[in-house]
Structure 1
C-alpha cells in the first residue's frame, strides 16, 4: 500500500503538471502572433528610436552614407520650439473637449434609447449607424461644404435667420477658433455612435429589479444614476474613455482635410499633422517628434489603465 501511494503523483504534483501543460499550450498558440506583432511594430519602433538620436536626412539615404549621432539634440530642439509647445497644448485641449463631448453625448443618447419605444429606438440606431459609417475624410469634406465661405449652408441659414447679409462670405475656416470648433463638431458627431451603442449594451446588463427598487425607495433620476447605474457601467465607461483619449490625440484626417479647404496650418496644427508637415526628409527631427508623441500617449494610457485596475481591485 505504501509503494502504490508513493508511485502515484500527489494532487499538488498533478496540478503543477497541468499548469505547465497549459502554459506551454498557451505560449505555443501566442508565439506566432507575438512574432508577427514584433515584426510589424517592433522594427519600425526600434528604427524610429535610432533615427531620433541622429541627424538622418534624405541625403544620407541617397548617398548611402551613415548619419552622425547627435544624441538628444533633436529632442532639445523640439522641446524648446515655441511652435511645438503651442501645437502640444492645442492637441491636448482639443482632445479634452472632444473626449468630453463624445462621452457625455454618447451616454445621454444611450440613456435616451432605453426610454424610447422600439420604432423610435430603431430609427435612432439607424441614424447613429449612418453617422458612424461615413469615413472621416468624407465627413470632413461634407462639413467643409456646410461651412464653405461662398456656398455654405450655415452662412445662408444665418443670413435668413437674421434677415441680413452679415454672414455673407463669412470665412469660418480662416479663424483658428472657429476652425477648431468645426473640428470638434466633426469629431464629436462621428464619435458619439460608438459610445452610445457600447453604453446602451452596458445599460442593458443592469437588472431591471435593481433600478425599480431604487425608484420604490424614492431615488430620483440623478440619484439612480450615481447610486445604481454609474457604478454598474463604470468599467465600460472607463474603457471607452481610454479609447477616446487615444483616438482624439491621433486626429489627422479631419484636421488635414479642413486645412486644405482654407484653414491656416500654422495656427491649427495638431501633433499628428505637425509631425507630417515637418521637413520632408528630416528623418531624425521627425523621429524625435514621433517619440515624444509616443511617450505622451503611453503616459496618458498608463495613468488611465492604472485607475481602472485600482477600481477593479477595490
Structure 2
C-alpha cells in the first residue's frame, strides 16, 4: 500500500462542537483550541530577569517610599526598631525650605547647560565623522568608545589634575602660551568656574555615546534625497533642515531625553571632584539628598528628596518612553 493510500485510509479527526442553541459560554469553552504546551515557556525564560529587577529596583523603591513617610534615624536604621510615622511632614519641611529650591534651580541650570553642550558637540562630531575616511573614522570611534568606557574615578582624577592650582595643565597653558597670569589659580573657589570644570567631565563622558548614536542615525539618511535637494538649489543648511533633520529627529530626541535624565542625577563627578566633601555651593539634588541622609542622619528626608527627584523626572521619563514607542512604530 502506498503512502497516499494509507493517508486516504486514515479516518478524519473530528473536532467536538457545541450543539446548536447551547449556552454561548459553554460553546466557547467547547470550541476553544487546546493551548500549546510551550505557551508558558517565554514567560518562564524572562522570569529571572523580572525577579532581578524587582530585587534591585522595585523593592528598594518601595522601602524608599515607606521611609519618606517615617522618621528614620540612626537607631531605627541599625537596630531595626519600628520608626514613627510622620505622614507628609518630611515633604512639607523640604518643600518649605528655601535651600531646597536653590538646589533645584542649580540642578536644572547645570543640567540644561550640560545637555545643550553635549547635544551640540555630539551632533557636530557625528557630522564630521560622515566626512572622514573609513580608517580615520574607525580610529575615532575606538577612541570615543574608550573614553566612554573609562571609569568615572579615573576620568575625574584626570580632570582634577587638569584644574590643579599648582600643577594643572589649564593654568600652565594660560600662563605660558596665552599670557594670562593663572599660576596658583584655584578654579573651585568660584562655584561658576568650578561647575565649568565639573561640566567638562560630564560632557566629556557623554559626547561619545551621543556622537556614535547620531552618526548611526545619519547613515540612514537617503543619499539620493540629499543629492536631489542639492540639485534643486538647497544649500548645506537647507539640506540639513529639510532632509537630514526629519530623519534623525526621533533619535536626537531620544538621546537628548536620556541626557536630561543622566545629567539631572549627576552625583559622582561633583562628589569626587570636591574630595568627597562638596561645599554647599556645589549641591545638586543628588548631593543634597546624600548629605541629608548620611551626614545629617535624616534618612527619611533623604528618601523624601529622592522621591521628589523621581517626580520631577517622571514627565521626562514618560516622554522618553513615548519616543521609544514612536520609533518602534516607524520601524
- The 8 Å contact of residues 107 and 196 in structure 1, kept in 2 or not, is answered as yes
- The 8 Å contact of residues 238 and 308 in structure 1, kept in 2 or not, is answered as no
Matches of 1:199 and 1:222, distance apart in 2: 18
Which stretch has the larger CA shift, 274-283 or 174-183?
274-283
The alignment status of 1:102 with 2:118, answered yes or no, reads: yes
From the superposition, tell whether residues 119 and 255 of structure 1 become closer, same or farther in structure 2 (CA, over 3 Å): same
Residue-pair matches, total? 305
Structure 2, gaps ≥5 residues long: 1-11, 18-28
Pairwise CA distance, 1:39: 2.6
* Higher relative contact order structure (alpha carbons within 8 Å, sequence separation ≥ 6): 1
TM-score by length of 1: 0.86
From the superposition, tell whether residues 20 and 91 of structure 1 become closer, same or farther in structure 2 (CA, over 3 Å): farther
Partner of 2:145: 129
- The 8 Å contact of residues 176 and 264 in structure 1, kept in 2 or not, is answered as no
- The 8 Å contact of residues 51 and 284 in structure 1, kept in 2 or not, is answered as yes
Equivalent residue in structure 1 for 2:132, among 116, 123, 142:
116
Correspondences of 1:142-161 after superposition (within 5 Å)? 142-161=158-177
Pairwise CA distance, 1:156: 1.6
From the superposition, tell whether residues 29 and 173 of structure 1 become closer, same or farther in structure 2 (CA, over 3 Å): same
The alignment status of 1:244 with 2:246, answered yes or no, reads: no
Matches of 1:248 and 1:297, distance apart in 2: 11
Pairwise CA distance, 1:162: 4.5
Matches of 1:307 and 1:153, distance apart in 2: 42
Partner of 2:310: 294
Equivalent residue in structure 2 for 1:274, among 280, 288, 295:
288
CA offsets per residue over residues 213-267 of structure 1, 9 Å max, x none?
Answer: 2212221111111111111112211221121111111211111111118x85200
Partner of 2:23: none
- The 8 Å contact of residues 55 and 67 in structure 1, kept in 2 or not, is answered as yes
- The 8 Å contact of residues 175 and 182 in structure 2, kept in 1 or not, is answered as yes
Correspondences of 1:107-256 after superposition (within 5 Å)? 107-163=123-179, 166-256=181-271
- Give the match's secondary structure for 1:107: helix
- The 8 Å contact of residues 271 and 278 in structure 2, kept in 1 or not, is answered as no
Pairwise CA distance, 1:17: 5.5
Structure 1, gaps ≥5 residues long: none
* Bigger helix fraction: 1
Matches of 1:18 and 1:102, distance apart in 2: 55
Larger radius of gyration: 2
Correspondences of 1:73-92 after superposition (within 5 Å)? 73-92=89-108
Pairwise CA distance, 1:305: 3.6
